[in-house]
Structure 1
Amino acid sequence: MGTLKPLVIGDLVARNPVIQGGMGVGISLSSLAGAVAKSGGIGIISTAQIGFREPDFKKNPLEANLRAIGTEMIKAREIAPDGIIGFNIMVATMNYASYVKKAVLAGADLIISGAGLPVGLPEYVAEAAEEAGIKLKTKIAPIVSTVKSAMVICKLWDRKYHQAPDLVVIEGPLAGGHLGFSKDDLTRLGADTNDVEHTYKREEYEEEIKGIIRLVKEYGDKYNKVIPVVTAGGIYTHEDVLHQIDLGADGVQVASKFVTTFECDAPMEYKQAYINAKKEDIVITKSPVGMPGRAIVNPFLDGVGKIPFRLEHCYQCLERCDRTTIPYCITKALVDSAEGRTEEGLLFCGSNAYRAEKLVTVDEVMKELVGEN
């Protein structure tokens, strides 16, 4: 594996320092996460509307989602009995605590949590283990994008729970889906254009990464533990991985590159949209809850704001969704794409999605990232 070392998170040891990023709705479920874990990385199942295929999803979305957490974990474990498998749970999710507790009971090795600061994550994880009378084994990792957000969560967990994160994930401005930056921040960093390869102020953001790594080390020293830091966003090649390691990261989180694998849970139409995409097709859009996000432009995105929208059904997905003002329902848009209606739905992606040329296996992706091919 050359210069790359295993990713160690407490007693969890991933042979390859690669975490597969969580992609909802229905893009990273048991098939992808299990394959990544079997390949020596860390497989992540997204809980975002994870139960959309359940027959009662429309009527009882919460119950359907919680049930699916358990079934998807069982299927992932069948693929990789000895692998490391976790969940990505958005803080912005309605009934966030219920999702966290269900993930713990399902046997999650790791919970990665962003889309807001996971203030109560340690409490919910501990409560789940205590209520079930089981030994707490689930590791917890906040997603941060700035030194400021890392400081807030580390200080709060330190003061309130007398603990530090087990892992910290830094998601940069080249990541896919919802981004932890304002539109102004993305503009300042040159990450909001169709040509981020030439406009992105990488060195400026890398100083932020170094600052987060220094901060996390301080809290690791305080608690006499090593807290690994993993970076995400715009990582596509072995050289990209090596660059992140040179910055001081212990590993990387990669999402878009895994979409065009045979094992990815997305339908072929979704994968083909990535393969067909050109660089200029990847744009920054505004989600219904006001957050900027990166996606592939299509007839659906072209029509947002131009075609009158009327909410026909609420799936109770996000806390800060104002049903009276949203330009579209994000659950419906993501489900449409996850069911293959990609011209009618939202296609979140990272900045490098256009580089996909064909379907490959998860094992091929992993070997490319770690430099084994």
Structure 2
Amino acid sequence: MRITKMLGIKYPIFQGAMAQIALAPLVGAVSNAGGLGIIASGGFSAEQLREEIQKTKEITDKPFAVNLMLMMQNISELVDVIIEEGVKIVTTGAGTPAPYMETLKKHQIAVIPVVPSVKIAKKMEALGATAVVAEGTEAGGHVGETTTMSLLPQVVDAVSIPVIAAGGIANGRGIAAAYALGAQGVQVGTRFLTTVECPTHDNFKQAVVDATDTSTIVTGRSIGGPVRSIKNKMIQAYLELENQKASRDELEKLSLGSLRKAVFDGNIEEGSVMAGQICGMCNEITTVEEMITTMFTEAEEVLDQMTHLSLVEKELI
């Protein structure tokens, strides 16, 4: 079954669950435009999640999801809220959904883990996942090591459930490429940062608009927590500490609250401007609806052109 039919959405596009950004204004706009808006619940209490879900319901009557960062200590409470509020789609990251899978499936909730490898994708399928999001290292925020182009076809070949492509997708050509590699849809984060409805400081949006293909870098590899962000004063200081073999505590002291500084205060030099490598193509501010419809119009055109493309010249006999 196609992922759009499974989830009740028009376009096979998920909005990435960007921490402190994927909130009701953006989530509701994405769902209203035909995609799947996803609330980022990381750091939320149960009541904060309930409030965000209810705010989203005020904006849209279309399907939306909640992302669970499974390293959080209050996941069981968040699961209870999701069930009570009737949310029918959950994406997961930073851990295994195994302890909650039976409960979620019992309430007919689709569970879609984000995975960085074939090994984990196969484990998620064995657990009963509805689909998986295969996310390449090009993505913004917390990342794995394998590129989308390498990871995606291997995951598609390894599992029988639908696979959603993520990492390095910001236009219709990216969507068409994902389909060529076997995906049933895409998850997009960075491009949504440059939308009118994205609830970030204008400085944050402008930093993404101004970025180029070489503007991002990964920090945190030395402590097993790689994160991709746009290079700035804070990121440079972090990298210098890493090169000096600084402890986890020293690194966390520098980065504590840095995402909030960028997202809410607009401090793009001392804050963390998480974005993917594709930010060099995110060079204009549009509405969510305009962004999604333009991407899929372009994707249809590209796929149509591909049906008439011959990769090997055939001699007439």
For 1:115 and 1:178, locate their aligned partners in 2 and report how far apart those are by CA, in whole Å: 9
Question: How far is 1:137 from its partner?
Answer: 3.4
Q: Does 1:338 align with 2:263?
A: yes
Matched to 1:67, the amino acid is E
Aligned counterparts, 1:1-373, within 5 A: 7-8=3-4, 10=6, 12-24=7-19, 26-50=20-44, 65-81=45-61, 83-125=62-104, 136-155=107-126, 157=127, 164-181=128-145, 205=150, 208-217=151-160, 227-286=161-220, 290-304=224-238, 324-328=249-253, 330=255, 332-339=257-264, 340-371=266-297
Aligned length: 294
The answer on whether the counterparts of 1:91 and 1:117 sit within 8 Å (CA) in structure 2 is yes
Structure 2: unaligned runs, 5 residues or longer: 242-246, 302-317
Question: How far is 1:125 from its partner?
Answer: 2.7
Question: Could you say what secondary structure the match of 1:371 adopts?
Answer: helix
In structure 2, the CA distance between the partners of 1:123 and 1:245, relative to structure 1 (3 Å rule), is same
Question: Could you say what secondary structure the match of 1:304 adopts?
Answer: helix
Question: How far is 1:272 from its partner?
Answer: 1.4
The answer on whether the counterparts of 2:43 and 2:72 sit within 8 Å (CA) in structure 1 is no
Matched to 1:115, the amino acid is A
Structure 1: unaligned runs, 5 residues or longer: 51-64, 130-135, 158-163, 190-201, 218-226, 308-321
The answer on whether the counterparts of 2:125 and 2:131 sit within 8 Å (CA) in structure 1 is no
In structure 2, the CA distance between the partners of 1:116 and 1:263, relative to structure 1 (3 Å rule), is same
Q: CA RMSD in A?
A: 2.6
Question: Could you say what secondary structure the match of 1:34 adopts?
Answer: helix
Greater fraction of residues in helix: 2
Question: Could you say what secondary structure the match of 1:14 adopts?
Answer: coil
Question: How far is 1:270 from its partner?
Answer: 1.3
In structure 2, the CA distance between the partners of 1:145 and 1:9, relative to structure 1 (3 Å rule), is farther
In structure 2, the CA distance between the partners of 1:338 and 1:49, relative to structure 1 (3 Å rule), is farther
* Cα displacement string for residues 143-170 of structure 1 (whole angstroms, at most 9, x for unaligned residues): 1122111122333x2xxxxxx2112111
Question: How far is 1:241 from its partner?
Answer: 0.5
Matched to 1:209, the amino acid is L
In structure 2, the CA distance between the partners of 1:287 and 1:95, relative to structure 1 (3 Å rule), is farther
Question: How far is 1:97 from its partner?
Answer: 2.7
Question: How far is 1:297 from its partner?
Answer: 0.8
Question: How far is 1:279 from its partner?
Answer: 2.6
Question: How far is 1:102 from its partner?
Answer: 2.3
Matched to 1:137, the amino acid is Q
For 1:238 and 1:176, locate their aligned partners in 2 and report how far apart those are by CA, in whole Å: 19
Larger RCO (CA under 8 A, 6+ residues apart)? 1
For 1:120 and 1:87, locate their aligned partners in 2 and report how far apart those are by CA, in whole Å: 17
For 2:239 and 2:13, locate their aligned partners in 1 and report how far apart those are by CA, in whole Å: 38
Question: How far is 1:329 from its partner?
Answer: 6.1
Which 4+ residue blocks in structure 1 deviate beyond 6 angstroms? none
For 1:266 and 1:289, locate their aligned partners in 2 and report how far apart those are by CA, in whole Å: 28
Question: Could you say what secondary structure the match of 2:159 adopts?
Answer: helix
Matched to 2:100, the amino acid is L
The answer on whether the counterparts of 1:101 and 1:125 sit within 8 Å (CA) in structure 2 is no
The answer on whether the counterparts of 2:215 and 2:231 sit within 8 Å (CA) in structure 1 is yes
The answer on whether the counterparts of 1:231 and 1:251 sit within 8 Å (CA) in structure 2 is yes
For 1:277 and 1:268, locate their aligned partners in 2 and report how far apart those are by CA, in whole Å: 14
TM-score normalised according to structure 1 size: 0.72
For 1:305 and 1:328, locate their aligned partners in 2 and report how far apart those are by CA, in whole Å: 14
Alignment-derived partner of residue 60 in structure 1: none
